[in-house]
Structures are given as C-alpha cells and as structure tokens.
A and B are shown apart, each in its own frame.
Chain A
Amino acid sequence: MDNNGKKLVLGGLVALVFLLVVGFAAFGSQLTIKGTARVSTAWDVHISSVVANKFVGSAQNVSSTIEESGLAATLETDLKAPGDSVTYDVTVVNEGSINAKLSDINFHQSQAQEAADVEGYKPSITYAYTGIDTQSEDTKTKLKPGESVTFQVTVTFTKDFDTKTFTEAQIENQLELVLTYVQDTTA
C-alpha cells in the first residue's frame, strides 16, 4: 500500500475512533441543582402611639410623646382636683418578622415607694394599667409580626385625698412602666 493509501486508512481509523468516543460520551449526563437560602430576620417591637383618650374632671394632658426609637414614651398630666383622671391609650406594634411575647412587666411609682417607707403615708396620685399581661395567649401577651396591642394607663388624683395635708412628695408621682418583649419560640 502506498503512502496515500496508508494515510487514507489511518484517517478513517481515527475518524472511527472519534465517533466511538463521542457516542460513548453522549450516554452520560450531569444534572446540577443550585440553591441559595438566606436568613432574613428583623426584630422590631416598639411603641407606635400614645393618646390621651379619656378625661375625668378637670384633668389635662400636658404632653404625651414617643422617643424616636419607639422604645420609650413620656406622659405628663396635670390633675387639679381629687377624682381627676386621664386615661392614655398606648399602642405597641410588632413590625418585625419574629414572633414576640411580653415576658415581664415592671411597674413602679415613686409615691408608692414613699408609702412603703412612711407609715400612714397615702399617695395622692396613683397609676394603673390594663390590657396587657404576661400570661395570655392573645395579643395582650403575644404579638406576631404585624400585630399590635393597645393598652391603657390611667393616672388618677385620689378621690378622697385631703389636699390640706399635702407633702412635697405627694405633689408629684412618677411612673416607670417597663415592658419586656422577647422572641416567642413557642409559636
């Protein structure tokens, strides 16, 4: 066989081998599945509004403000006569993406401390709150994302208080109400 002939045979064999390889490779596939998962959490429980809603007697709301962070609110009330009272509606909202629950309520009045320390001392002003607790299954305790609760804080000039016997400590009563919300992992 001359050179040309040999070349032809060789070329043919190479082509045949190539076809066999391609044919073999065609019978196999790789399927690739890619995924991305992201944790996107946001914790945001805050006070959204404070409104003086109910007035008894000649009581006046001096101011009711919420701090920029939404984590604190300040109320200032002017009570003129025994029996006067103002009730504030306070709204707390869960604008985050995590279930929350009210785990603790810390309620402290400065005059109550005086009353505890001094025998016979009677507070002239009292505070009270309703509409929230730490034991309920509804929004009084638990706030899912998007939910809110409105509770009441009432400040009262003690009705039968004898104003002639005012002490300096009894002219003013300061309230500190601290609500502690935590993640509700039971929901």
Chain B
Amino acid sequence: MNKKGKKILIAGLFIFMLILFTAYGVFNANLNIDGTASISSKWDIHIRSIIADNIIGNAKSLSASVGDSGLSATFEANLISPKDSITYKVIIINDGTIDAKLSDINFYQSQSGDNAAIKYSYSGVDINDKLASGNTAELQITVTFTGDSAEEVDDDFENQLKLILSYVQDK
C-alpha cells in the first residue's frame, strides 16, 4: 500500500475508533440515584388531664393538676363524713408515633390495712393494656372515708397515695 493509502487507512481507523468511543460513551451512562432517609419516630406518653369527676357526700376536692412535663399529677381531697368519697378521672394519651403498652403498675398508700379510715382504689387500666399511637386511656382513682363514725377518727387523719404506671414500647 502506498503512503497515501496508509494515511487514509489510519485516518479511517482513527475516525472509526472515535465513533466507537462515542457510541460506547452513549451506551455507557452512570445513573446516579441519590436518596435521603431519616427517622422521625417520637415517643410521647403523658398525662393529659386529671379532674374530680364524682364527689359523694360532703367530700371536697381541694386541688387536681398535671405537672409541667405531663409525667406526674397530684390531687388533694378533704373528707368529712363517713362514706364521703371522690373519684378522679385521669386521661393518659399516646401523643407519639410508637405504640405502647402498660408494663407495670405500682400502687402504694401510706395507711393500709382493713382498719384504715381512708382507702384508695383504682380502675380502668391493667398490666399489658395497649395504648396505640394517637389513643387515650382513662384511669379512675377513688378515695373513700370508710370509718363508721367520724368521732373515732383523729381530726386531720391523712392517707397518701403514690401510683406509678410504667409504659414501654409495644413491639
């Protein structure tokens, strides 16, 4: 082959290679997929409200309030005559995104025993009760003056309650 032919051949090969490279480049594309994932779950179980719902006899509710964090509530009652009682209604809310369940109930009163003049009781919640996200639970706490005669009880006799409800994630 003469020089001119060689040049033409080289040029042609070069152009061919260029075309090949270009074609290959078109058929070879990097596809980038960018994704962002974030966790927005929220755990929020708290006491929404406490009110004196049912007052019997001469009983008086002096106060009932929820603490700033919503994790505690307190109440104070005055009982005057035997059979006086007050029932407090407590609303617990699952304001988070995670389902919960009641894993433990710790119920303690400072004066216990059959002869205690003041007795507490509760109802409405039980261990393993589920509290799904967005739902509420209602707990009733009743305090009763059980004495047969007020004259048998020292004035200012007192009984204190501590009720602890432990909620955990319901898996």
A interface with B by C-beta (< 8 Å)? 26-43, 97-99, 145, 183, 185
In angstroms, how far is the closest chain A Cβ from the Cβ of B124?
Answer: 12
Q: List 14 A-B contacts (CB under 8 A).
A: A26-B43, A28-B103, A29-B46, A31-B72, A32-B163, A33-B161, A35-B120, A36-B75, A36-B159, A38-B78, A98-B80, A98-B81, A98-B150, A183-B150
Interface residue count for B (Cβ, 8 Å)? 54
Binds A, one of B11-19, B30-38, B140-148: B140-148
Which of B74, B148, B155, B165 is the one whose CB lies under 8 Å from A34?
A: B74
A145 vs B164: C-alpha distance in the bound complex, in angstroms?
38
Q: Looking at chain B's contact residues, is the secondary structure mostly helix, strand, loop, or mixed?
A: strand
Do A31 and B79 touch (CB < 8 A)? no
Which of A27, A35, A98, A185 is the one whose CB lies under 8 Å from B98?
A: A27
Q: Let me know if B153 is at the binding interface, CB within 8 A.
A: yes
**Residues of B close to A39: CB separation below 8 A:** 79-80, 117-118, 145, 147, 150, 153-158
**Residues of A close to B78: CB separation below 8 A:** 37-38, 40
Do A37 and B77 touch (CB < 8 A)? yes
Which of A29, A37, A40 is the one whose CB lies under 8 Å from B120?
A: A37
A26 vs B120: C-alpha distance in the bound complex, in angstroms?
31
Do B90 and A41 touch (CB < 8 A)? no
Do A43 and B158 touch (CB < 8 A)? no
**Residues of B close to A38: CB separation below 8 A:** 76-79, 118, 156-158
